[in-house]
Chain A
Amino acid sequence: MSANVLFDAPGPKARRRNRIYAAVGTLAVAGLIVYIVLRLNTTGQFAGYMWNLFEYTGIQQRIENGIVSTLEAFALAGVCSLVLATVLAAGRLSDHAPVRWAATAIVEFFRALPLLILIFVLYASVFSPFWALVTGLTLYNGSVQAEVFRAGINAVPRGQAEAAYALGMRKTQVMLTVLVPQAIRSMLPTIISQLVVTLKDTSLGYIITYEELLYAGRLVAANTVTPGGYPYVPVVIVIGAVYIAMCLALSALANWIERRGRRSRKGTPPVPDVLESVVAQSE
């Protein structure tokens, strides 16, 4: 791909040079890793007593509860933000100017605001940590997703809507039967990527003392005393791995959907002209 565009298939001289670069690069990267590992070792992070804590069922339970709370907040916020996004996108595409303005104002306001500040204000005014987190995530991600939806609907070729209107459909029908199904297909990868962001942002709950994964980890690390100090390194490694695994699983879903979408569009076997319209419909 892009890598092959920028340089030729290397000849003997270039191959030798690339081998030297590769060696130097490997040494540099390996050196960095070795240095960090050595520092971890000299500060005693690999000692058994630093990792013992994961053997206690109480601590396992606490981390498990953290994962469950994270997923709870994510699931509720994800669903609510998609619902809100649908409403806001419909508002932004409305034929009535005041509705359009109101939706635009809401979207622009919540997109421009740092999510943490929004969550903190909700928390400090009336909400419990859980609802502050969910409401904040819903308002912010709902606004972002609304723009994604709108972009998706606007990206459907103009002729599609024109044809539907020409058939005498009303706006709602045009939207629901013609534009939205096509838009969702092209926007699904982006929507899921934004859901990954939502998942990552649940960790902001840590700051308003919602007991999600990061909070649980911090609590575990700060309450365990070992001869080598607080076990932040082991806890961060474990929790980081859990977060990365959750996000990668969602991203993998987005990639899979994108690949599937591409395949069905490009990979249709060549068909005679007569059949083409039938195939196009069935897609």
Chain B
Amino acid sequence: MDVLTHNFGLFRHGFLGTLALTGVSAAVSLVFGVLIAAFRVSPVPPLRWFGTAWVTLLRNTPLTLLFMIAVFVVPQILFPGISYFALAVGALGCYTSAFVCEAVRSGINTVPLGQAEAARSLGMTFGQTLRIVVLPQAVRTVVPPVGSLMIALTKNSAIAGAFSVAELFAQQKRLSELGYNILAIFVWVAVAYLIITFAISGLFRLLENRMAVTR
């Protein structure tokens, strides 16, 4: 208990850091993920190939390696002087987007064939079919898997702490270096993560219930 009360500022800083990192990376990964999924089902072959390459590369690379690239390579080559937070968002967002893409794509596959056929026979274009008919239905099936992806994202955000981004793991490391009892710090950090992940799973259960329809 002492660890928490004496260092409440640090814990709050770390907690907010984890929240911010998770939130921004989640937004990035959802935007990229849906975009790449659209690429992967599009009638344009080069975009399909790009989508496939993106997903294959990112799904088979360890996140730690992506963080290493983000921290040691990207500033040197593309964006000199960019903040660690932005780099971490880039690594987490791109990594998760590959998984979001696959979830969305499998969601699209669950939409009954007749729906897309009907849309086409009404004369809708590919973009219209996807936007008006298929994606809104796919979203419902995609909500639960994306929920678990966001929880995984929250947990993965801990790696950012090892690369100098201020969040919960970074504070844990710092406090343990200051000589506090590692198990006591661990308990509070674990509780903080549980709060965030429970909030996310609650949010997604709510979404799932709101969107539930019988098909």
Contact = CB atoms under 8 A, between A and B. Distances in A.
Interface of A: 1-3, 5-8, 10, 14, 18, 21-22, 25-26, 29, 36, 39-40, 43, 45, 112-117, 120-121, 124-125, 196, 200-204, 206-207, 214, 217-218, 221, 229-230, 232-233, 236, 239-240, 243-244, 247-248, 251
Contact of B158 (A3, A7, A14, A117): A117
Contacts, number: 149
Given A21-B43, A114-B155, A214-B62, 6 more contacts: A22-B47, A25-B46, A112-B190, A202-B62, A236-B65, A236-B69
Contacts of B41: 2-3, 6
Interface string B131-173: 0001000000000000000000011111101100000110011
B12 interface: no
Nearest to B49: A29
Contact of B162 (A10, A116, A202, A247): A116
B61 A117 contact: no
A218 B109 contact: no
Contacts of B50: 25, 29
A164 B40 CA distance: 45
Given A116-B162, A243-B61, A43 B77 contact: yes
A40 B69 contact: no
Contacts of B193: 112-114, 117
A146 to B, nearest CB: 16
Given A196-B60, A232-B76, A116 B158 contact: yes
Nearest to A199: B62
Is the interface on chain B under 10, 10 to 19, 20 to 34, or 35 or more residues? 35 or more
A214 B44 contact: no
A115 B155 contact: yes
Contact of B105 (A2, A14, A239, A243): A2
Contact of A7 (B65, B129, B161, B182): B129
Nearest to B112: A5
A7 B121 CA distance: 10
B126 A117 contact: no
26 contacts: A3-B40, A3-B42, A7-B126, A14-B43, A21-B43, A25-B46, A25-B47, A29-B46, A29-B47, A39-B78, A112-B193, A114-B158, A116-B162, A117-B158, A117-B169, A125-B182, A200-B60, A201-B62, A206-B64, A206-B68, A207-B162, A236-B72, A236-B73, A243-B61, A243-B65, A247-B59
B76 A204 contact: no
Contacts of A230: 72
A206 to B, nearest CB: 5
B178 interface: no
Contacts of A3: 40-43, 48
B65 A214 contact: yes
Given A3-B48, A116-B159, A214 B68 contact: yes
B46 A18 contact: no
B189 A117 contact: yes
Nearest to A10: B43
Given A114-B155, A214-B68, A21 B190 contact: no
B109 A1 contact: yes
B30 interface: no
Nearest to A125: B182
